[in-house]
Amino acid sequence: MAGTKWIYDFTEGSKDQKDLLGGKGANLAEMTNLGLPVPPGFTITTDACRYYLEHGGTPPELDAQVTEYLAALQEAMGKTLGDPADPLLVSVRSGAAASMPGMMETVLNVGLNDESVQGLAQQSGSERFAWDSYRRLIQMFGKTVLDIDGEHFDEALDAAKAEQGTELDLDLDAEHLKDVVDRFKAIVREHTGTDFPQDPREQMDMAINAVFDSWNSDRAIIYRRRERIPSDAGTAVNVCAMVFGNLGADSGTGVAFTRDPGSGAQGVYGDYLQNAQGEDVVAGIRNTVPLADLDDIDHDAYDELMTTMARLESHYRDLCDIEFTIERNKLWMLQTRVGKRTAAAAFVIATQLVDEGLIDMDEAVRRVTGDQLAQLMFPRFVSGGDATQLTQGMNASPGAAVGKAVFSSEEAVRWADRGEQVVLVRRETNPDDLSGMIAAQGC
């Protein structure tokens, strides 16, 4: 396969190349070419993943191509990966052709080490921000790349917060976070027998390989089987210049939908979290605010986001699911995709888009799948009657269900295997709960 192009810059692709660039890479390229504010970056193709899985290593030409595209990214940003004085940091994210939310891996802040953290502190003007970013890298890298149980890092962070008498990460200052970094390094040393890698390029290469490996993680395999996604499709890898939502109150991160994915209603739907990186929103470790509150927090960024969302929905002619970051009042778009929606919302949105002239009736019919039709026929709770409501929560599956309550995915699988009907109850569901969600009657 000599001469194969394994990498595409965001300026080179389009939304029609999902099979090659994955959904995330194709849509990042599409937004870039629309002139939207996307951080520079490049996508390693699904072809490279398939080669890696088949041969047990990356294509011979990939290393040189990564060097070439990294040099172009460094020139665009005016920074060098891991520079001790003013480091370029990158994110390494998965992105398959078919949406597989949370099934594969992401590593943020790649390029930080014991020297570049000092440069990041100086350039940002915030020592706390720099050390917070460094501890996040070690935590994500340790779990994702080095296959260390994430609970070890969670316990170390919780211990550091307990010593300071707080439950919030934000209450830890720079000195506390330096201590957390040391604890995290010790965890890496204990569980791998080696130190956390200090070479920024080694970090990036290891993260890329870890994303390829995550294609065949247990949860990804289970998800593909359930969603009928081909096992040989592979994932692309997106390497993107970092933008930071954890620089202070004038920064933040969020998710947004151009319409309500639950009901299909038009309006402002999503969540925003000040002084946070993207993983904080989905991790549920801090309480987000409704997206509409961003209008009061940062009016100009909010207006730009609303304009961008309207433009994307018109361009894609569908409900769009968006991830964004605000770095010191500057909006950056990190991802968009056609958003998942409930069965009821699928009908409503298809009808709305016909009324707005964005799609025709034939396309509207194709937008509602057989699975969604079946979901509309699931049993539901009736209003009134003599039923007693005990509690309430957010349903992760459509319809009503009957079963014994269990509180872990492992228990749900065990009980279901012996013929019990169960309802999985979790404070927050996450991708690791997939096997339990499949085994349960409802969750």
pLDDT of residue 198: 97
Longest CA span, the chain: 71
Helix 127-144 with 174-192: angle, nearest 10 deg: 20
Q: Which domains does the chain have, with CATH numbers?
A: 7-241 (3.30.1490.20), 243-374 (3.30.470.20), 404-439 (no CATH)
pLDDT of residue 241: 97
pLDDT of residue 2: 62
CA 326 to chain centre: 16
Distance between CA atoms of 37 and 89, rounded to whole angstroms? Answer: 18
- Cβ 340 vs Cβ 318: under 8 Å: no
Distance between CA atoms of 253 and 98, rounded to whole angstroms? Answer: 24
Stated length of the chain: 443
Distance between CA atoms of 155 and 16, rounded to whole angstroms? Answer: 44
- Cβ 364 vs Cβ 350: under 8 Å: yes
pLDDT of residue 3: 81
Distance between CA atoms of 369 and 223, rounded to whole angstroms? Answer: 18
pLDDT of residue 284: 57
Task: For the chain, list residues with pLDDT below 70.
Answer: 1-2, 102-104, 279-285, 383-385, 396, 428-429, 431
pTM recorded for the entire structure = 0.86
Distance between CA atoms of 30 and 15, rounded to whole angstroms? Answer: 5
Give the pair of three-digit tokens for residue 165.
């008498």
